Amino acid sequence: VQIRTVTVDSKCGKLQVWDTAGQDRYKCITSSFYHGAHDIIICFDIMNRDSFDNVDKWLEEVKRHCGNQPTV
């Protein structure tokens, strides 16, 4: 877990980076952090096809917890 206080356009906020490596054992932890999140970034390993293939799974997980928030 990496936590930093960042300032953008004179606005201060907290940035938390959780690298769960896509492991299901972290699923119960990650779901609690979706609540109240303003942004979520899903990353994958470009050298690992399975990692890329799991992006859709994580996107569905985010949608289930965050509703119909805009996604890019």
Mean pLDDT of 29-49: 82
Can you read off the two tokens belonging to residue 17? 């980076």
Nearest to 27 by CA among 52, 2, 64: 64
Q: Are 40 and 71 in contact (CB under 8 A)?
A: no
Three-state DSSP class for residue 62: helix
Average pLDDT over the chain, rounded to an integer: 83
Indicate the pTM of the whole model. Answer: 0.66
Residue 16, CB half-sphere, CA atoms under 13 Å: how many? 11
Three-state DSSP class for residue 43: coil
All structural domains of the chain, each given as residue ranges with its CATH number in brackets, are 2-66 (3.40.50.300)
Cα separation, 57 vs 72, whole angstroms: 15
